[in-house]
């Protein structure tokens, strides 16, 4: 009997509410549009043909744009799976189950520890999610508990997530396989001097990656690229950085890759933001060893020439500069893997180095490292060097963004 049922299920065409979801994309409610987007996205590559037909038939340019973004996301998901491996997916069917058991379903080897924080781990929870991404599962558990969460380093770069009382304010969130893309901060700055008033706003978009992924290189600049910021009137809300402030500082959280964009303070809300991620993941790395005897050595690593120089050792500390030059290798400054530089002594002992400054240009870059003092007979320095990057570009469209 069960065999017959399985055969029947396999031959009966998939019944879904495709047409209903497509028309729901025109809804005035952001929540309804997002729900429809989520359900259409869940169709995966198998649904791309139908989505393309719907896009061709769509008369509303907004719906057309949403379908375009959706198709791009589905194709991107297939591409990401090839680069980063399969997305961790979660199914939870909880009816009156203890919070600790629900959290256990989200935790997995290599992912993050999740602490219920001030919540009773025995507290009961109702939650139904089916085959959602890891980030969506975590968000849904937090929301069902009446919580938001903070992500911190648990020591040794291990990730610890703690639930905190109070739901996160509603806002546009995009779950794209191993990533969660959202607006994590919106700020308005009102400036006063005796000569006048000035105002400006900033939106920070963050792409959180799954805890088991390790992006490489420099992750602070241009990891998020903005294409358009449009206000409710359809006007361009993007603007240049103001000249009346000091320096801009970044304070990203663990697992978060972020970038801010300046926005006119008088933009008519809400805003729609489109862009894409540009996150480098090392795809090919190699360990390079540079001799310290004499006056240092050079090593050719593909198109780059690495050189150890200005090695000095004194009671105050041990210092070394590492310079790389290449005329046609892009992103030189992103190719040294942080935490991968060690001085090796004559007994093979490895002593970690810490970069205290770096500088350079497109074709040459220098890092200065400090090591602990008292390293006996240092012989060589080893570094891990990225020869190839995969750059993960995920298109995003965030609607309903508001300023404080």
Partner 1 sequence: MSALSARAGTKSQKGNTPECVQSFVTGGTTLVSHLKTSIRGAMALSTLFLLAGPISVGSQEASPPKEIPRITWEETDYLGLLAKELELKTAGRIRLGKGIERKEVKVAVRDAGFYEVLDALCRAHKEVTYFIEDDVQPGTEQLTISPGRWIEYPASYHGHFKTALVAMMKTSRSSPEGNETRVETELVVFGPPWTALSWSSGAEVEWTINEARDAEGRDILAPPRIGPGDERMGISLDMHRSGNFSIHVVALRDFVLDRGLKVLAGKAKIRTVESRAVRLAAEAGATAEIPQGTLTVDSAKELEESGRESSWIIAVTLKPNESSKELNLHRVVGPRVRYDGDRGRGTYVSLPSQGRSFDVSTPPIPRSPK
Residue 129 Rama label (left phi>0; alpha psi -120 to 50; beta): beta
Q: Which of 206, 326, 353, 367 binds partner 1 (CB under 8 A)?
A: 206
Site string for partner 1, 151-180 (x = CB under 8 A): ---------------x-xx-----------
CA 313 to chain centre: 39
Cα distance between residue 63 and residue 72, in whole Å: 14
Helix (H, G, I), strand (E, B) or coil at 102: helix
Q: Is residue 197 close enough to count as binding partner 1 by CB under 8 A?
A: yes
Asked whether the CA dihedral 65, 71, 77, 82 is positive or negative, the reply is: negative
**Binding to partner 1, residues 84-143 (CB under 8 A):** none
CB of 339 to partner 1, least distance (A): 20
Q: How many residues bind partner 1 (CB under 8 A)?
A: 68
- Side by side, the strands of the sheet bearing 279-291 are 279-291, 378-392, 342-345, 350-352
Comparing CA positions, the residue from 254, 49, 52, 222 lying closest to residue 155 is 254
Angle at 124 between CA 123 and CA 128, to 5 degrees: 135
Which of 42, 43, 309, 393 is close enough to bind partner 1 by CB under 8 A?
A: 309
Judged by CB under 8 A, the residue of 120, 190, 222, 327 near partner 1 is 190
Listed ranges 121-129, 152-160, 277-285, 319-327: which one lies at the site for partner 1 (CB under 8 A): 319-327
Considering only residues 221 to 280 of the shown chain, the ones binding partner 1 according to CB under 8 A are: 243-253, 256, 258, 260
Tell me whether residue 15 or residue 193 sits nearer to partner 1 (CB atom): 193
DSSP, res 266: T
The verdict on 347 binding partner 1 (CB under 8 A) reads: no
x/- map, 275-304, partner 1, by CB under 8 A: -------------xx-x--xxxxxxxxx--
**Is residue 187 close enough to count as binding partner 1 by CB under 8 A?**
yes
* Choice from 174, 204, 273, 394 touching partner 1 (CB under 8 A): 204
Q: Is residue 102 classed exposed, middle or buried when 0-12, 13-18 and 19+ CB atoms within 10 A define those classes?
A: buried
Among 56, 195, 348, 361, binds partner 1 (CB under 8 A): 195
Cβ neighbours, 10 Å, residue 155: 7
- What gap in Å lies between CA 391 and CA 404, rounded to an integer? 33
d(CA 43, CA 22): 13
Q: Angle, nearest 10°, between helix axes 61-84 and 48-57?
A: 160
Considering only residues 365-384, where is the footprint of partner 1 by CB under 8 A?
366, 368
Nearer to partner 1, 51 or 381 (CB): 381
CB of 265 to partner 1, least distance (A): 10
Task: Give the residues lining the site for partner 1 (CB under 8 A).
Answer: 148, 150, 166, 168-169, 184-197, 202, 204, 206, 243-253, 256, 258, 260, 288-289, 291, 294-302, 307-312, 314-317, 319, 321, 323, 356-357, 366, 368, 402-404
């Amino acid at each position: 009997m069960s065999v017959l049922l399985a055969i029947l299920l396999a031959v009966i065409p998939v019944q879904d509410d495709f047409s209903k979801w497509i028309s729901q994309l025109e809804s005035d409610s952001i929540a309804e549009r997002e729900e429809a987007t989520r359900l259409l996205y869940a169709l995966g590559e198998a649904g791309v043909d139908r989505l393309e037909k719907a896009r061709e038939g769509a008369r509303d340019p907004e719906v057309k744009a949403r379908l375009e973004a959706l198709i791009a996301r589905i194709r991107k998901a297939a591409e990401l799976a090839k680069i980063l491996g399969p997305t961790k997916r979660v199914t939870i069917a909880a009816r009156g189950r203890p919070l600790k058991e629900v959290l256990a379903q989200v935790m997995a080897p290599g992912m993050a520890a999740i602490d219920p924080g001030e919540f009773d781990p025995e507290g009961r929870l109702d939650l139904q999610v089916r085959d959602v991404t890891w980030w969506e599962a975590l968000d849904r558990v937090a929301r069902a508990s009446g919580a938001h969460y903070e992500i911190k380093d648990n020591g040794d770069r291990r990730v610890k997530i703690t639930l905190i009382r109070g739901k996160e304010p509603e806002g546009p969130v995009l779950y794209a396989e191993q990533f969660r893309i959202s607006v994590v901060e919106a700020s308005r700055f009102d400036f006063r001097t005796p000569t006048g008033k000035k105002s400006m706003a900033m939106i920070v978009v963050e792409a959180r990656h799954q805890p088991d992924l390790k992006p490489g290189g420099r992750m602070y600049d241009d990891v998020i690229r903005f294409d358009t910021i449009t206000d409710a009137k359809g006007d361009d809300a993007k603007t240049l950085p103001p000249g009346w402030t000091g320096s801009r500082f970044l304070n990203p959280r663990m697992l978060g890759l972020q970038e801010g964009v300046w926005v006119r303070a008088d933009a008519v809300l809400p805003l729609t933001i489109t862009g894409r991620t540009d996150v480098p993941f090392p795809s090919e790395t190699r360990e390079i060893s540079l001799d310290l005897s004499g006056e240092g050595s050079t090593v050719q690593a593909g198109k780059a020439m690495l050189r150890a120089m200005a090695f000095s050792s004194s009671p105050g500390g041990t210092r070394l500069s590492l310079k790389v030059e290449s005329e046609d290798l892009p992103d030189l400054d992103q190719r040294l893997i942080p935490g991968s530089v060690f001085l090796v002594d004559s007994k093979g002992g490895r002593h970690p180095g810490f970069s205290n400054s770096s500088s350079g240009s497109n074709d040459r870059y220098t890092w200065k490292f400090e090591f602990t003092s008292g390293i006996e007979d240092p012989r060589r320095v080893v570094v891990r060097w990225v020869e190839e990057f995969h750059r993960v570009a995920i298109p995003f469209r965030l609607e309903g963004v508001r300023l404080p």
